[in-house]
Amino acid sequence: MDRTTGASGFTGISGHVPLSPPTLADVAERAGVSRQTVSNAVNNPDLLRAETLVRVQRAIDELGYLPNRAARNLRTRASHLVGLRLSPVQEGTANAAMDRFVHSLVWTSREAGYHVLVFSGEGADPLEGYDDLVRSTAVDAFIVTDTYLGNPQATWLRQRRAPFVAFGRPWDDPEARHPWVDVDGAAGTELATRHLLDRGHTRIAWIGWRKDSRIGEDRRSGWSRALKERGLSTTGMASRVEDTVWSGRDASSHLLDEARPTAFVCASDTLAMGVLRTLAERGLHPGRDIAVVGFDDSQVAQVVYPGLTSVRQPLEEVAVAVVRALEDLLGVPTKVADGLLLTPDLTIRASSGA
Amino acid sequence: MDRTTGASGFTGISGHVPLSPPTLADVAERAGVSRQTVSNAVNNPDLLRAETLVRVQRAIDELGYLPNRAARNLRTRASHLVGLRLSPVQEGTANAAMDRFVHSLVWTSREAGYHVLVFSGEGADPLEGYDDLVRSTAVDAFIVTDTYLGNPQATWLRQRRAPFVAFGRPWDDPEARHPWVDVDGAAGTELATRHLLDRGHTRIAWIGWRKDSRIGEDRRSGWSRALKERGLSTTGMASRVEDTVWSGRDASSHLLDEARPTAFVCASDTLAMGVLRTLAERGLHPGRDIAVVGFDDSQVAQVVYPGLTSVRQPLEEVAVAVVRALEDLLGVPTKVADGLLLTPDLTIRASSGA
DNA sequence: CCGACCCAGTTGAACGATCCAAGGCGCCAG
DNA sequence: CTGGCGCCTTGGATCGTTCAACTGGGTCGG
């Protein structure tokens, strides 16, 4: 043990900083015990006599010791890292969910002892990026966010035996056995529609996504359920378009002319912004003349005039549930539920009536 | 070499997936060479005869071998990970720069062989989070984004000898020796102001941040420089407030009453949204009656009616420069410039005149 | 009195890649 | 024949941690 560095303290207290951080052996030497005992002090404190534990702990504090990740990872065959693929930035949309989710996830993961490694799959192949990480054992598991539309990620990851938790239901595969967490979009739009019904609206239109979007159809079902519940018809009141401001503008413009709704429920804030644009062009005032509700409670909804009522996903709760599923997957098999569906709420602003 | 796993192929081609990925030794055996040769094939290909290289390469491909990160990290004392602290999500603002920057950074880093580890410093102490990562040698370097207002991160990291690159100038410390990349905010607002001057405006107001914000004052200087260049006065034309929509609303309302500007340049899109609110409340039309320019080209600017002209930071270029500085810092000391200042451009939309 | 068992530690061997030194072997030039 | 060079092998050490096996003493039941 003739390491020439590290024994002189690693914290900022002493005058100089040594080249390399202290190791288990340094701590052991200082505490007068063996390496293994120090290791136990860190990982299985109850194996030590109280007195010894104190002595080791003091040595740890004095040296500012923290286990070297690489060494620990090598031995335990785990990195305590979870991979999260960032979906491409959509310019010109109001998408804000990802941002909030990432923050919540990072925060929650840290509590559980995990760090988040982000990577991107911008290129053509959505699987690009996963491969390297799996094969080089860089992450312990993945968080997968886009499970809709027959997304191949889930299948691919299962084949590779790569553990993962999904934010999003396995729409296409009821046999799926992986853990997932999702938000009940239908409940959200139902909430929104009821809110408008309670305010006296009876002609409430829907602007959503293309029919092959499972999420879009789910959200749409909440709107139609709420209307039918009150014996109101939905025919001619729905439009399904791309998720852009201009699509929302055109769709709302058509609906206003044809179906004469007094309120709009939209599958996204982006589409709702399109509705607001139509209203502005026609000199109509959102909230007073026509009510509008969006989905996701994005920054746009928060700052736009006069404030956009929007369905807000409980992303903090999602993150907590995802991390819990992760711990279950990687640690002891407590085996909680396979899937968990959370309920969103509604942030009410002036666009649905002041 | 009696590993019972790994020799049967790791890719999804064969029927079953072995429990552990192939190692150097597996590849060596299959290619009929020694471990050392495989290692050389991966790290110093030019040491091998072309023919041998091909053989080893084929074995690598067939087994789907990738070096185990933990083992490599342990030996080379590097993780090929860079840490990025996410700044807290600001609800109710239009902040979008971080999001775009993260994406660009992740993308660029990957090209350079680095992955991005995100962590959060939500708590009271902005240094929280850094400490663990430094001491457990989890990351090779940091990307620091908030270097303004006497932020302690830079100083702290330097003391710990933790390599880092800053996105943002070391405003308070001209002696700083760390590499940094920044965007010339003043050039941006000058561009915006000139754009308005060219459109015939002469009474152009400024809404910015508190005086102790170095970034805010920098952006302000671009506005005043452009005005003075044309012999126009700035007195009574500026307001300095918090970065919220409501502050922007109040400030613009006051300025409209007192100074009668025909255009506004703002330090952020959030403030610009406040101006749009004032205009809406007064029945004024942005772009036709009063021109407005924001800063950051956020999603809000892109989707709001009738479209918000905004200064756009070249975050992709920033990311490229940051990663280059990183490589310089961690690899061979090519030693490019210490600091680099990039110029933003202006995304013109209807709010500054259709 | 003997074997089983617990306690509180210690010791040696992995984990998988990298790095280094020494050496083998075939081949060509001097 | 010798020396040198190109290309590869061999053996070993190393990074810092954790795991499995073991030690030496004490206690307990039969």
Are the beta carbons of A138 and B91 separated by less than 8 Å?
Answer: no
Are the beta carbons of B303 and A107 separated by less than 8 Å?
Answer: no
Check residues A91 and A46 and name the one with the higher pLDDT. A46
Query: How distant is C1' of D13 from CA of A85, in Å?
Result: 39
* Predicted pLDDT at A6: 38
- CA geometry: angle at B238 spanning B232 and B241, to 5°? 165
Query: How distant is C1' of D21 from CA of A47, in Å?
Result: 17
> Which residues pair with residue A180 across a beta bridge?
A166, A339
Check residues A128 and A318 and name the one with the higher pLDDT. A318
Residues 6+ apart with CB under 8 A from A90: none
- Tell me what the mean pLDDT of segment A261-289 comes to: 97
Q: Which positions in chain A touch B107 (Cβ < 8 Å)?
A: 120, 122
Domain-terminating residue out of A67, A95, A118: A67
**Closest alpha carbon to B88 in A313, A20, A104:** A104
Q: Give the number of other Cβ atoms within 10 Å of residue A2's Cβ.
A: 3
Same domain? A301 vs A194:
yes
pLDDT in tens, B242-265: 999 999 999 999 999 999 999 999
Cα B295 to Cα B312: distance, rounded to the nearest angstrom? 7
Strand order in the sheet with B339-342: A339-342, A180-183, A164-167, A141-144, A81-86, A115-120, B115-120, B81-86, B141-144, B164-167, B180-183, B339-342
Q: Over pLDDT 90: what percentage of chain B?
A: 74
- Look up the CATH number of the domain holding residue A23: 1.10.260.40
Q: How far apart are the first and last CA of chain B?
A: 74
- Look up the CATH number of the domain holding residue A101: 3.40.50.2300
**Closest alpha carbon to B317 in B305, B308, B325:** B325
**Nearest-CB residue to A135 (from B66, B245, B281):** B66
Closest Cα of chain A to B41: distance in Å?
17
> Which residues pair with residue A339 across a beta bridge?
A180
Same domain? A298 vs A214:
yes
Which stretch of A243-247, B50-54, B130-134, B309-313 has the lowest confidence by average pLDDT? B130-134
Cα B66 to Cα B38: distance, rounded to the nearest angstrom? 11
* Predicted pLDDT at B125: 72
**Closest alpha carbon to B50 in B38, B42, B41:** B41
Whether B73 is covered by a domain: the verdict is no
Same domain? B298 vs B331:
no
Whether A242 contacts A209, CB under 8 Å: yes
Q: Which positions in chain B touch A64 (Cβ < 8 Å)?
A: 135
Q: Is the CB of B74 under 7 A from strand C?
A: yes
Beta strands in chain B (DSSP E): 81-86, 115-120, 141-144, 164-167, 180-183, 204-209, 238-241, 263-266, 291-295, 309-312, 339-342, 345-347
Closest Cα of chain B to A231: distance in Å?
35
Check residues B161 and B316 and name the one with the higher pLDDT. B316
Residues comprising chain B, all counted: 354
Give the bases of strand C that a protein CB approaches within 7 Å.
7-12, 14-21
Beta strands in chain A (DSSP E): 81-86, 115-120, 141-144, 164-167, 180-183, 204-209, 238-241, 263-266, 291-295, 309-312, 339-342, 345-347
What is the CA A233 to chain-centroid distance, rounded?
35
Q: Which positions in chain B touch A65 (Cβ < 8 Å)?
A: 135
Residue A326 amino acid letter: L
Whether B297 is covered by a domain: the verdict is yes
Give the bases of strand D that a protein CB approaches within 7 Å.
6-12, 14-21
Query: How distant is C1' of C9 from CA of B304, in Å?
Result: 69
Cα A325 to Cα A103: distance, rounded to the nearest angstrom? 18
Whether B289 contacts B315, CB under 8 Å: no
Query: How distant is C1' of D22 from CA of A46, in Å?
Result: 20
Q: What are phi and psi of A19, to 5 degrees?
A: -70, -40
Domain-terminating residue out of B13, B43, B67: B67
Verify cis geometry, omega within 30 degrees of 0, for the bond prior to B306.
yes
Q: To which residue do tokens 């063996």 refer?
A: A34
Residue ranges making up the domain that contains A53: 1-67
Whether B76 is covered by a domain: the verdict is no
- Tell me what the mean pLDDT of segment A177-200 comes to: 96
Confidence of residue A92 (pLDDT cuts 50, 70, 90): confident
Same domain? B192 vs B245:
yes
User: Which three-class secondary structure state does DSSP give residue A121?
Assistant: coil
CA distances from B76 to B69, B79, B131, B133 (A): 10, 8, 21, 17
Query: How distant is C1' of D16 from CA of A45, in Å?
Result: 20
- Whether residue B147 is predicted with pLDDT greater than 80 in this model: the reply is no
Same domain? A28 vs A53:
yes
Same domain? B47 vs B115:
no
Same domain? B259 vs B321:
no
Whether B269 is covered by a domain: the verdict is yes
Are the beta carbons of B120 and A106 separated by less than 8 Å?
Answer: yes
- Which strand (E) or helix (H) includes residue A21? none
- Whether residue B4 is predicted with pLDDT greater than 80 in this model: the reply is no
Are the beta carbons of B89 and A73 separated by less than 8 Å?
Answer: no
Cα B237 to Cα B255: distance, rounded to the nearest angstrom? 7
CA-based radius of gyration for chain B: 27
What is the CA A156 to chain-centroid distance, rounded?
20
Taking all residues of chain A, what is their mean pLDDT, rounded to a whole number? 90
Nearest residue in chain A measured CA to CA from B66: A136
Instruction: Name the protein residue, with chain letter, whose CA is nearest the C1' of D19.
Output: A75
* Predicted pLDDT at A221: 98
- Whether residue B96 is predicted with pLDDT greater than 80 in this model: the reply is no
- Whether residue A321 is predicted with pLDDT greater than 50 in this model: the reply is yes
Same domain? B108 vs B161:
yes
Confidence of residue A15 (pLDDT cuts 50, 70, 90): very low
Same domain? A158 vs A190:
no
Are the beta carbons of A115 and B115 separated by less than 8 Å?
Answer: no
Are the beta carbons of B299 and A299 separated by less than 8 Å?
Answer: yes
Angle between helices B35-43 and B50-63 (to 10 degrees): 90
Q: Is the CB of B39 under 7 A from strand C?
A: yes
- Whether residue A56 is predicted with pLDDT greater than 50 in this model: the reply is yes
Whether A190 contacts A222, CB under 8 Å: yes
Give the nucleotide with minimal C1' distance to the Cα of A52.
Answer: C8
- Whether residue A1 is predicted with pLDDT greater than 50 in this model: the reply is no
Same domain? A219 vs A209:
yes
Same domain? A130 vs A194:
no
Whether A74 is covered by a domain: the verdict is no
Same domain? A320 vs A300:
no
- Whether residue B332 is predicted with pLDDT greater than 80 in this model: the reply is no
Q: Give the number of other Cβ atoms within 10 Å of residue A163's Cβ.
A: 18
Check residues B10 and B93 and name the one with the higher pLDDT. B93
pLDDT in tens, A149-187: 567 788 888 888 889 999 999 888 888 888 999 999 999
Query: What's the half-sphere exposure (Cβ side, CA atoms, 13 Å) at B49?
Result: 4
Are the beta carbons of B106 and A92 separated by less than 8 Å?
Answer: no
Give the total number of structural domains in chain B: 3
CA-based radius of gyration for chain A: 27
**Closest alpha carbon to A271 in A305, A289, A298:** A298
pLDDT in tens, B283-315: 999 999 999 999 999 999 999 999 999 999 999
